């Protein structure tokens, strides 16, 4: 089952791969509760139940705006008869057309790099984000997470970002650099929201890692040597901090993967998660620091994610000693829930990288 701490909920899945939560149902239910407005920014949408929920919202007169990655809407080859449906991304195109027929304001991204967001702002009050694309594989066979935060201040932060996205100001086409959003507190838990490339999420992740006193655990889809996170890990591990990471098997074996410089080093344990019967990809972007600070969002650990792609992260928690006992307890609940899922992934699907 999901974790709910006040106005913050965390979900891990999918159920089909042994996770506690049905991620598709979580997203559909979230959309179905909209009464006034849905602002949706997502890399890919081919899940029919999620698409149906968006269309149903529009049909009950909810204002819906949607931005998608354009690469999933176009064909890489010129078709001899463009009126004949076909190709690997045809479900994306069919859903896109249905959205247009429902008078939904749909835009594809203007970014030559990757529009990698996964968030919804509902009724200017609540945000859904995490690592999950709105696809059949994303909700049924890729290991993913979803976070829901009911807070008007957090909704305003994401709402401002969405307005800029709708204007085409994002990625390496951003025409200005926004100030980093202020830290907020939700249900006693300090929250930091950052968007790439303006706010350099990679630097924030490295800063949080350098505060660790005991251990760092992570599960991430893509981890490249072009990021600085691997160097920070080496520095932290040299100081005696234990680091354990689960990585998608295909990405971790690539020539550019950070695993080549990390595997086998003192205090560092790495695990491959390869494609298997119930798991297509490990698609998380998840880190837990000292069982108390959790970092989630769309951000893979790559240089391109930091400099060029459109991304977001949320840092849940803070390792300060001066927080209240209630705050510390709530942070530890969130940390345990995320860490339990990393434990499960390592134990059920992981093979050690030596």
Q: Would you say the C-alpha torsion 114, 312, 222, 141 has a positive or negative sign?
A: negative
Which band of pLDDT confidence, cut at 50, 70 and 90, is reported for residue 169? low
Last residue of a domain, one of 135, 166, 197: 166
CATH number of the domain residue 224 falls in: 3.30.870.10
Last residue of a domain, one of 107, 141, 166: 166
Residue 100 inside a domain? The answer is: yes
The pLDDT tens digits of the residues spanning 72-119 come to 666 666 766 667 676 777 888 899 899 999 999 998 876 667 789 999
Share of the chain above pLDDT 90, in %: 76
Residue 122 inside a domain? The answer is: yes
pLDDT at 46: 92
Neighbours of 98 (CB within 10 A): 16
Same domain, 201 and 344: yes
pLDDT at 111: 67
Residue 172 inside a domain? The answer is: no
Structurally, the chain folds into a number of domains equal to 2
Same domain, 196 and 344: yes
* Burial class of residue 316 in the structure, from the number of CB atoms within 10 Å of its CB (0-12 exposed, 13-18 middle, 19+ buried): buried
Residue 229 and residue 205 in contact, taking contact as beta carbons nearer than 8 Å? yes
Of 87-91, 223-227, 250-254, the one with minimum mean pLDDT is 87-91
Give the C-alpha separation, 284 to 288, whole Å: 12
Look at residue 173 and tell me whether its pLDDT is greater than 70.
Answer: no
Q: Would you say the C-alpha torsion 258, 282, 210, 148 has a positive or negative sign?
A: positive
Residue 176 inside a domain? The answer is: no
Q: For the residues of 5-46, what is the DSSP string, one character each?
A: ETTEEEEEE-GGGT-SS-HHHHHHHHHHT-SSEEEEEES-B-
Residue with tokens 């835009």: 107
Of 154-163, 171-180, 268-277, the one with minimum mean pLDDT is 171-180
Look at residue 61 and tell me whether its pLDDT is greater than 70.
Answer: yes
Same domain, 202 and 337: yes
Report which of 133, 324, 152 is spatially closest to residue 221, judged by C-alpha positions.
Answer: 133
Same domain, 196 and 156: no
Same domain, 25 and 146: yes
Which band of pLDDT confidence, cut at 50, 70 and 90, is reported for residue 2? very high
Same domain, 133 and 194: no
Instruction: Provide the domain limits for residue 24.
Output: 3-166
Same domain, 285 and 341: yes
Same domain, 193 and 135: no
Q: What does the chain come to in residues?
A: 354
Same domain, 282 and 162: no
Same domain, 152 and 8: yes
Residue 273 inside a domain? The answer is: yes
DSSP H helices, 109-151, are 136-140
Same domain, 68 and 203: no
Residue 178 inside a domain? The answer is: no
Residue 249 and residue 271 in contact, taking contact as beta carbons nearer than 8 Å? no
Residue 228 inside a domain? The answer is: yes
Residue 323 inside a domain? The answer is: yes
Q: Which residue has the higher pLDDT, 254 or 233?
A: 233
Last residue of a domain, one of 131, 166, 201: 166
Give the C-alpha separation, 269 to 148, whole Å: 31
Same domain, 91 and 197: no
């Amino acid at each position: 089952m999901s974790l709910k701490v006040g106005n913050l909920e965390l979900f891990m899945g999918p159920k089909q791969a042994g996770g506690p939560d049905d991620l598709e149902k979580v997203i559909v239910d979230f959309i179905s509760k909209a009464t006034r407005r849905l602002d949706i920014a997502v890399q890919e949408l081919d899940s029919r139940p999620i698409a149906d929920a968006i269309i149903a919202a529009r049909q009950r007169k909810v204002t819906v705006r949607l931005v998608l990655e354009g690469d999933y809407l176009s064909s890489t080859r010129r078709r001899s008869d463009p009126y004949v449906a076909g190709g690997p991304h045809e479900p994306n195109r069919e859903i896109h057309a249905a959205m247009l027929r429902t008078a939904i304001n749909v835009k594809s991204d203007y970014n030559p790099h990757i529009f990698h967001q996964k968030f919804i702002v509902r009724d200017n009050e609540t945000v859904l984000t995490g690592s999950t694309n709105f696809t059949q594989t994303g909700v049924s066979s890729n290991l993913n997470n979803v976070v829901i935060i009911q807070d008007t201040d957090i909704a305003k932060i994401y709402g401002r970002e969405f307005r800029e996205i709708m204007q085409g100001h994002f990625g390496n086409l951003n025409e200005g650099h926004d100030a980093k959003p202020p830290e907020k507190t939700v249900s006693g838990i300090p929250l930091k929201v950052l968007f790439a490339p303006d706010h350099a999420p990679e630097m924030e992740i490295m800063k949080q890692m350098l505060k660790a006193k005991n251990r760092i655990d992570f599960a991430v889809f893509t981890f490249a040597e072009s990021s600085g996170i691997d160097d920070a890990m080496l520095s932290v591990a040299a100081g005696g901090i234990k680091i354990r990471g689960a990585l998608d098997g295909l990405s971790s074996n690539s020539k550019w993967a950070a695993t080549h410089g990390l595997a086998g080093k003192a205090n560092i344990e790495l695990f491959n998660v390869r494609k298997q019967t119930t798991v297509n990809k490990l698609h998380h972007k998840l880190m837990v620091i000292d069982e108390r600070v959790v970092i989630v969002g769309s951000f893979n650990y790559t240089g391109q994610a930091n400099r060029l792609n459109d991304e977001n992260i949320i840092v849940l928690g803070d390792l300060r000693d001066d927080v209240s006992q209630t705050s510390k307890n709530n942070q530890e609940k969130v940390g345990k829930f995320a860490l339990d899922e990393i434990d499960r992934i390592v134990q059920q699907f992981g093979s050690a990288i030596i």
